Structures are given as C-alpha cells and as structure tokens.
Amino acid sequence: MYPAIARESVQPDDGNAVNLWSYVQGRGEVLTFLTYQHASLAFQTVLVGTVVAVLIAVAVYRLPLASALTLTSSRVALTIPSLALLALLLVPFGLGVVPSFLMLAFFAALPVIGNAIVGLRSVPATVVESARGIGLSRWRILLTVELPIAWPVILTGIRVSTQMIVGVAAIVAYVLGPGLGSLIFNGLSRLGGANALEMALTGTILIVVVALVFDALLVLLGRLTIAKGLA
C-alpha cells in the first residue's frame, strides 16, 4: 500500500547545525514524500473508519439498549493508549503498514460512531412518519431522510476524527509505518546532534499543516453538502 522509506533517506547530513529554513530547502523531495504518505494514510483510515462507524450506527440506532452500549463502548475505547494497541498489533501483523492502518482506522471510527448514532436518533419522529406515510420504504427513509438530516452531526464527528488521526498517525513510525512521524522520532532520538531539532520541528509543523488543510476541506464539504435549513 505504501512503499517503505529507508531510514537513511530521512537522516540529516553530518556537519554543523543549520537553521530550519535551510534544512527544509535541502530536503524538499523527501519532506514532500513523507507529507504525502502521512496525508494519504490519514485520509484512507478516516474514510474506512467513517464507513464502518456509519454502518454500525445504522445497525443499532433503532435499538435503545444496543445504541447505548455502542455509545459507551466507543467512548471507553478512546481511552485505550494508541501506542499500546499498536504494540499488540505487532504480534499478528509485524512491522509496517498493516498494524499502522488497523490502529488508526480503529481510532478513526470511534468519534464518528457516537455522532452518527446521536444524529440518527435526533431525527424528528414526525419527519420519519411523514416519509413513511407517502410510501417510502425503510431504506429509502434512511438514505433520503434520516442520513441527510443527521449528516451535520456525522460530519462534526468526522472532523474530530480527522484532527485526532492526523496527530496520532505520527506514532506509527514506532513500527516503521509511513508518514512524518519518522522525522519526529529520528529528531528526538538524536537531540543534541546536527539538525536534530530542525528535523523534529519540521515533522511537527508539517503535521499541523496537514491537519489544517484537511479541516478546511471538511468545512468546504459541509458547505457543499449540508442543506441551508440544517446548517
């Protein structure tokens, strides 16, 4: 899914420390590639997590007990340390992309599950009854009435999930996963050495930039897809 990047390719050159701008200028190609990997991994895991979360919400939102248990479970699951889950996934899947993807997709789904259930359950019963009264089937009501009305709440969960995942994705470098975390890990492991601080700062700043770009795109998506009466 992602080509492995050799550790040597993100190691700074030996010599005197240079300022941050000089460090970035000298490594534009590598930084662009790592940023692309990070953004792509975050996008794919949030997409998969959102699809799974919405499917789970659709399956349980009409059942009070099941929806309550699902909401509670999703909130409790958020307290699981991401690094601990990543370490557990090393046993069956080894190093690399697979444990990284599974861990991020798992956490990406959690905020969306809660918002999707709350959004679907908040659809006015009178609206559902009116749709049923004109002969719409249960699935037509779900797709054309309930999900569109719940979409603003679901999108809020997606925004929260995306911001969280873009940050958490940095730790997948611990298992040789792709992305900007390799810069931060390598920089912190070499503090006091040449370019170590610049390396960690560059990775951190680029992660913030990726998070801001994703959030802006989701805001734009909301303006394009949310009806004015629901905004």
82-126 pLDDT, tens digit per residue, is 999 999 999 999 888 999 999 999 999 999 999 999 999 999 999
Task: Give the pLDDT band of residue 229 (cuts 50, 70, 90).
Answer: low
d(CA 123, CA 132) in angstroms, rounded, equals 14
What are the pLDDT digits (tens) for 138-166? 899 999 999 999 999 999 999 999 999 99
d(CA 34, CA 10) in angstroms, rounded, equals 9
Residue 2 lies in a domain: no
d(CA 23, CA 220) in angstroms, rounded, equals 33
Number of domains in the chain: 1
Which DSSP category does 176 fall into? Answer: T
- Range(s) of the domain holding residue 98: 29-225
Residue 152 lies in a domain: yes
Higher pLDDT, 16 or 182: 182
Q: Per the confidence metrics, is the pTM higher than 0.85?
A: yes
Q: What is the CATH number of the domain that holds 101?
A: 1.10.3720.10
- Residue that the structure tokens 């802006």 belong to: 216
Residue 210 lies in a domain: yes
Cβ atoms 71, 128 nearer than 8 A: no
Residue 33 lies in a domain: yes
Which structure tokens are listed for 22? Answer: 């000089």
Residue 16 lies in a domain: no
Rounded to 5, what percent of the chain is helix, strand, coil? Answer: 80, 0, 20
What stretches of 13-146 show up as alpha helix (H) in DSSP? 20-25, 28-60, 64-77, 82-93, 97-121, 125-133, 138-141
Instruction: Tell me how many degrees the CA angle 26-171-2 measures, rounded to the nearest 5.
Output: 65
Residue 6 lies in a domain: no
Give the distance, in angstroms, between the CA of residue 42 and the centroid of all CA atoms in the same chain. 5
Residue 211 lies in a domain: yes
